[in-house]
Structure 1
Protein backbone atom coordinates (compact mmCIF):
# COMPACT_ATOMS: atom_id res chain seq x y z
CA UNK A 1 0.00 0.00 0.00
CA UNK A 2 3.06 2.31 -0.07
CA UNK A 3 2.09 3.39 -3.61
CA UNK A 4 -1.04 5.10 -2.30
CA UNK A 5 1.02 7.41 -0.11
CA UNK A 6 2.32 9.50 -3.00
CA UNK A 7 1.06 13.00 -3.85
CA UNK A 8 -0.09 12.11 -7.41
CA UNK A 9 -2.35 9.42 -5.96
CA UNK A 10 -3.90 11.94 -3.55
CA UNK A 11 -4.34 14.40 -6.42
CA UNK A 12 -5.95 11.70 -8.56
CA UNK A 13 -8.37 10.86 -5.74
CA UNK A 14 -9.28 14.54 -5.34
CA UNK A 15 -9.78 14.85 -9.11
CA UNK A 16 -12.02 11.77 -9.21
CA UNK A 17 -14.09 13.24 -6.37
CA UNK A 18 -14.25 16.58 -8.21
CA UNK A 19 -15.42 14.91 -11.40
CA UNK A 20 -17.96 12.88 -9.44
CA UNK A 21 -19.31 16.05 -7.81
CA UNK A 22 -19.56 17.64 -11.27
CA UNK A 23 -21.65 14.70 -12.47
CA UNK A 24 -23.95 14.63 -9.46
CA UNK A 25 -24.43 18.26 -8.50
CA UNK A 26 -27.87 19.73 -9.19
CA UNK A 27 -28.13 21.85 -12.32
CA UNK A 28 -29.12 24.92 -10.31
CA UNK A 29 -25.62 24.91 -8.75
CA UNK A 30 -23.91 24.99 -12.15
CA UNK A 31 -22.68 28.32 -13.53
CA UNK A 32 -21.67 27.30 -17.04
CA UNK A 33 -19.94 30.63 -17.66
CA UNK A 34 -17.12 30.90 -20.23
CA UNK A 35 -15.06 32.97 -17.78
CA UNK A 36 -14.93 29.96 -15.44
CA UNK A 37 -13.67 27.81 -18.31
CA UNK A 38 -10.96 30.36 -19.06
CA UNK A 39 -9.97 30.75 -15.40
CA UNK A 40 -9.94 26.97 -14.97
CA UNK A 41 -7.80 26.50 -18.05
CA UNK A 42 -5.33 29.15 -16.88
CA UNK A 43 -5.08 27.52 -13.45
CA UNK A 44 -4.50 24.07 -14.94
CA UNK A 45 -1.92 25.43 -17.38
CA UNK A 46 -0.17 27.41 -14.66
CA UNK A 47 -0.11 24.37 -12.39
CA UNK A 48 1.41 22.18 -15.09
CA UNK A 49 4.05 24.83 -15.86
CA UNK A 50 4.96 25.08 -12.14
CA UNK A 51 5.34 21.31 -11.92
CA UNK A 52 7.46 21.16 -15.07
CA UNK A 53 9.74 23.99 -13.91
CA UNK A 54 10.20 22.28 -10.53
CA UNK A 55 10.97 18.89 -12.11
CA UNK A 56 13.53 20.47 -14.45
CA UNK A 57 15.20 22.33 -11.57
CA UNK A 58 15.34 19.20 -9.41
CA UNK A 59 16.83 17.18 -12.27
CA UNK A 60 19.46 19.89 -12.85
CA UNK A 61 20.39 19.65 -9.17
CA UNK A 62 20.36 15.83 -9.39
CA UNK A 63 18.01 15.28 -6.48
CA UNK A 64 14.91 13.17 -6.08
CA UNK A 65 11.34 14.26 -6.73
CA UNK A 66 9.96 11.36 -4.68
CA UNK A 67 8.70 12.73 -1.34
CA UNK A 68 9.70 9.85 0.95
CA UNK A 69 13.29 9.71 -0.29
CA UNK A 70 16.28 11.58 1.10
CA UNK A 71 17.19 14.67 -0.93
CA UNK A 72 20.76 14.82 -2.22
CA UNK A 73 20.72 18.61 -2.58
CA UNK A 74 18.72 21.52 -1.21
CA UNK A 75 17.17 23.13 -4.28
CA UNK A 76 16.73 26.89 -3.84
CA UNK A 77 17.14 28.03 -7.43
CA UNK A 78 14.70 28.57 -10.27
CA UNK A 79 11.06 28.29 -9.30
CA UNK A 80 12.15 27.23 -5.80
CA UNK A 81 13.10 30.86 -5.15
CA UNK A 82 9.39 31.70 -5.20
CA UNK A 83 7.91 28.67 -3.42
CA UNK A 84 9.38 25.86 -1.36
CA UNK A 85 6.72 23.53 -2.79
CA UNK A 86 6.03 24.45 -6.42
CA UNK A 87 4.96 20.91 -7.35
CA UNK A 88 2.34 20.82 -4.60
CA UNK A 89 1.26 24.34 -5.51
CA UNK A 90 0.90 23.12 -9.10
CA UNK A 91 -1.24 20.21 -7.86
CA UNK A 92 -3.52 22.68 -6.06
CA UNK A 93 -3.84 24.86 -9.15
CA UNK A 94 -4.71 21.84 -11.31
CA UNK A 95 -7.36 20.70 -8.80
CA UNK A 96 -8.94 24.16 -8.55
CA UNK A 97 -8.72 24.67 -12.29
CA UNK A 98 -10.42 21.41 -13.17
CA UNK A 99 -13.16 22.09 -10.61
CA UNK A 100 -13.86 25.31 -12.51
CA UNK A 101 -13.52 23.72 -15.97
CA UNK A 102 -15.89 20.92 -14.99
CA UNK A 103 -18.31 23.49 -13.54
CA UNK A 104 -18.04 21.81 -10.13
CA UNK A 105 -17.60 24.92 -8.02
CA UNK A 106 -18.99 23.01 -5.04
CA UNK A 107 -15.90 20.79 -5.31
CA UNK A 108 -13.66 23.78 -4.56
CA UNK A 109 -14.19 22.82 -0.92
CA UNK A 110 -11.79 19.94 -1.68
CA UNK A 111 -8.94 22.40 -2.32
CA UNK A 112 -8.30 23.34 1.35
CA UNK A 113 -8.79 19.68 2.33
CA UNK A 114 -6.18 18.68 -0.25
CA UNK A 115 -3.81 21.40 0.97
CA UNK A 116 -4.17 20.19 4.56
CA UNK A 117 -3.63 16.56 3.59
CA UNK A 118 -0.56 17.31 1.47
CA UNK A 119 0.88 19.56 4.17
CA UNK A 120 0.49 16.95 6.92
CA UNK A 121 1.40 13.83 4.93
CA UNK A 122 4.24 15.19 2.79
CA UNK A 123 5.39 18.77 3.32
CA UNK A 124 6.00 18.67 7.07
CA UNK A 125 7.87 15.33 6.97
CA UNK A 126 9.91 16.55 3.96
CA UNK A 127 10.78 19.78 5.74
CA UNK A 128 11.82 17.86 8.84
CA UNK A 129 14.19 15.70 6.76
CA UNK A 130 15.61 18.77 5.01
CA UNK A 131 15.99 20.59 8.34
CA UNK A 132 17.99 17.67 9.78
CA UNK A 133 20.19 17.29 6.72
CA UNK A 134 20.81 20.89 5.65
CA UNK A 135 20.44 22.65 9.03
CA UNK A 136 21.38 26.35 8.71
CA UNK A 137 21.01 26.38 4.92
CA UNK A 138 17.43 25.13 5.19
CA UNK A 139 16.66 27.61 8.00
CA UNK A 140 17.88 30.50 5.81
CA UNK A 141 15.88 29.16 2.87
CA UNK A 142 12.72 29.03 5.01
CA UNK A 143 13.26 32.64 6.08
CA UNK A 144 13.58 33.78 2.45
CA UNK A 145 11.00 31.57 0.76
CA UNK A 146 7.42 30.85 1.80
CA UNK A 147 6.00 27.34 1.92
CA UNK A 148 3.32 27.93 -0.71
CA UNK A 149 3.58 31.41 -2.27
Structure 2
Protein backbone atom coordinates (compact mmCIF):
# COMPACT_ATOMS: atom_id res chain seq x y z
CA UNK A 1 0.00 0.00 0.00
CA UNK A 2 3.02 2.30 0.25
CA UNK A 3 2.79 2.96 -3.48
CA UNK A 4 -0.53 4.69 -2.78
CA UNK A 5 1.30 7.37 -0.80
CA UNK A 6 3.09 8.98 -3.73
CA UNK A 7 2.56 12.52 -5.07
CA UNK A 8 1.24 11.40 -8.48
CA UNK A 9 -1.39 9.24 -6.75
CA UNK A 10 -2.51 12.19 -4.61
CA UNK A 11 -2.66 14.39 -7.71
CA UNK A 12 -4.61 11.73 -9.62
CA UNK A 13 -7.04 11.44 -6.72
CA UNK A 14 -7.69 15.18 -6.79
CA UNK A 15 -8.12 15.02 -10.58
CA UNK A 16 -10.64 12.21 -10.12
CA UNK A 17 -12.64 14.32 -7.67
CA UNK A 18 -12.55 17.18 -10.17
CA UNK A 19 -13.74 14.86 -12.93
CA UNK A 20 -16.81 13.68 -10.99
CA UNK A 21 -17.82 17.14 -9.73
CA UNK A 22 -21.00 18.50 -11.29
CA UNK A 23 -20.71 21.53 -13.50
CA UNK A 24 -19.46 22.51 -16.88
CA UNK A 25 -16.43 24.09 -18.41
CA UNK A 26 -15.96 27.82 -18.18
CA UNK A 27 -15.74 28.64 -21.87
CA UNK A 28 -13.03 29.02 -24.48
CA UNK A 29 -10.82 31.45 -22.55
CA UNK A 30 -10.76 29.16 -19.51
CA UNK A 31 -10.10 26.14 -21.73
CA UNK A 32 -7.08 27.80 -23.33
CA UNK A 33 -5.73 28.95 -19.95
CA UNK A 34 -6.33 25.49 -18.48
CA UNK A 35 -4.49 23.73 -21.29
CA UNK A 36 -1.64 26.24 -20.97
CA UNK A 37 -1.32 25.56 -17.21
CA UNK A 38 -1.38 21.80 -17.78
CA UNK A 39 1.32 22.16 -20.44
CA UNK A 40 3.53 24.34 -18.23
CA UNK A 41 3.05 21.90 -15.34
CA UNK A 42 4.07 18.88 -17.41
CA UNK A 43 7.08 20.67 -18.93
CA UNK A 44 8.18 21.81 -15.46
CA UNK A 45 7.94 18.25 -14.11
CA UNK A 46 9.88 16.76 -17.03
CA UNK A 47 12.54 19.49 -16.76
CA UNK A 48 12.92 18.87 -13.02
CA UNK A 49 13.13 15.08 -13.38
CA UNK A 50 15.74 15.51 -16.13
CA UNK A 51 17.78 17.85 -13.89
CA UNK A 52 17.63 15.37 -11.01
CA UNK A 53 18.61 12.42 -13.17
CA UNK A 54 21.50 14.42 -14.63
CA UNK A 55 22.83 14.89 -11.08
CA UNK A 56 22.20 11.21 -10.32
CA UNK A 57 19.91 11.92 -7.39
CA UNK A 58 16.69 9.98 -6.73
CA UNK A 59 13.43 11.35 -8.05
CA UNK A 60 11.15 9.22 -5.86
CA UNK A 61 10.13 10.80 -2.53
CA UNK A 62 11.56 9.27 0.61
CA UNK A 63 14.91 8.29 -0.87
CA UNK A 64 18.16 9.77 0.38
CA UNK A 65 19.38 12.63 -1.82
CA UNK A 66 22.72 12.19 -3.55
CA UNK A 67 23.06 15.77 -4.77
CA UNK A 68 21.52 19.15 -4.06
CA UNK A 69 19.99 20.20 -7.37
CA UNK A 70 19.80 23.98 -7.38
CA UNK A 71 19.97 24.72 -11.10
CA UNK A 72 17.48 24.55 -13.95
CA UNK A 73 13.90 24.60 -12.65
CA UNK A 74 15.22 24.46 -9.09
CA UNK A 75 16.24 28.12 -9.47
CA UNK A 76 12.54 29.00 -9.79
CA UNK A 77 11.16 26.72 -7.07
CA UNK A 78 12.53 24.30 -4.50
CA UNK A 79 9.77 21.90 -5.55
CA UNK A 80 9.20 22.19 -9.30
CA UNK A 81 7.74 18.68 -9.61
CA UNK A 82 5.12 19.39 -6.95
CA UNK A 83 4.52 22.81 -8.47
CA UNK A 84 3.92 21.00 -11.76
CA UNK A 85 1.38 18.74 -10.05
CA UNK A 86 -0.47 21.79 -8.75
CA UNK A 87 -0.40 23.52 -12.15
CA UNK A 88 -1.81 20.39 -13.81
CA UNK A 89 -4.67 20.25 -11.29
CA UNK A 90 -5.39 23.99 -11.60
CA UNK A 91 -5.29 23.73 -15.38
CA UNK A 92 -7.62 20.74 -15.36
CA UNK A 93 -10.07 22.68 -13.18
CA UNK A 94 -10.10 25.54 -15.67
CA UNK A 95 -10.23 23.29 -18.72
CA UNK A 96 -12.66 20.58 -17.61
CA UNK A 97 -14.69 22.67 -15.22
CA UNK A 98 -16.36 23.33 -12.94
CA UNK A 99 -14.33 26.46 -12.34
CA UNK A 100 -14.92 26.27 -8.60
CA UNK A 101 -12.97 22.99 -8.72
CA UNK A 102 -9.88 25.20 -8.50
CA UNK A 103 -10.34 25.06 -4.71
CA UNK A 104 -8.97 21.48 -4.88
CA UNK A 105 -5.54 23.06 -5.34
CA UNK A 106 -5.51 24.03 -1.66
CA UNK A 107 -5.82 20.52 -0.17
CA UNK A 108 -3.37 19.15 -2.75
CA UNK A 109 -0.79 21.77 -1.77
CA UNK A 110 -1.39 20.96 1.90
CA UNK A 111 -0.90 17.22 1.36
CA UNK A 112 2.22 17.74 -0.75
CA UNK A 113 3.69 20.14 1.82
CA UNK A 114 2.97 18.02 4.89
CA UNK A 115 3.52 14.50 3.50
CA UNK A 116 6.42 15.14 1.14
CA UNK A 117 8.02 18.59 1.11
CA UNK A 118 8.69 19.00 4.84
CA UNK A 119 10.30 15.54 5.21
CA UNK A 120 12.35 16.12 2.04
CA UNK A 121 13.53 19.49 3.33
CA UNK A 122 14.61 17.86 6.59
CA UNK A 123 16.61 15.22 4.68
CA UNK A 124 18.22 17.87 2.48
CA UNK A 125 19.11 20.04 5.48
CA UNK A 126 20.61 17.05 7.29
CA UNK A 127 22.63 15.95 4.25
CA UNK A 128 23.75 19.33 2.85
CA UNK A 129 23.57 21.69 5.85
CA UNK A 130 24.55 25.26 5.04
CA UNK A 131 24.51 24.67 1.29
CA UNK A 132 20.83 23.70 1.52
CA UNK A 133 20.05 26.59 3.87
CA UNK A 134 21.63 29.11 1.47
CA UNK A 135 19.64 27.72 -1.46
CA UNK A 136 16.42 27.65 0.59
CA UNK A 137 16.98 31.30 1.55
CA UNK A 138 17.16 32.44 -2.07
CA UNK A 139 14.59 30.02 -3.58
CA UNK A 140 10.93 29.91 -2.61
CA UNK A 141 9.26 26.65 -1.67
CA UNK A 142 6.56 26.97 -4.33
CA UNK A 143 7.02 30.09 -6.49
Q: Deviations over 1:32-77 (max 9, x none)?
A: 3100000000000000010011011001101000011001001001
Cα-Cα RMSD:
0.9
Residue 53 of structure 2 aligns with which residue? 59
In structure 2, how many angstroms separate the alpha carbons of the residues matched to 1:41 and 1:92? Answer: 13
Any gaps of 5 or more consecutive residues in structure 1?
none
Runs of 4+ aligned structure 1 residues displaced above 4 Å come to: none
Q: Deviations over 1:12-49 (max 9, x none)?
A: 1000001011xx23xxxx45310000000000000001
- Whether 1:113 aligns to 2:107 is yes
Distance 1:62 1:97, change over 3 A: same
TM-score (norm 1): 0.93
Aligned match for 1:76, one of 66, 70, 77: 70
Aligned match for 1:41, one of 35, 45, 48: 35
Q: Deviations over 1:66-119 (max 9, x none)?
A: 011001001001110111000000000000001111122121111011001100
Tell me the matched-pair count.
143
Q: Contact (CA 8 Å) 2:25, 2:95: kept in 1 or not?
A: no
Please identify the structure whose Cα radius of gyration is greater.
1
TM-score (norm 2): 0.97
In structure 1, how many angstroms separate the alpha carbons of the residues matched to 2:27 and 2:12? Answer: 25
In structure 2, how many angstroms separate the alpha carbons of the residues matched to 1:105 and 1:4? Answer: 27
Q: Contact (CA 8 Å) 2:79, 2:141: kept in 1 or not?
A: yes
Q: Contact (CA 8 Å) 2:80, 2:142: kept in 1 or not?
A: yes
- Whether 1:102 aligns to 2:96 is yes
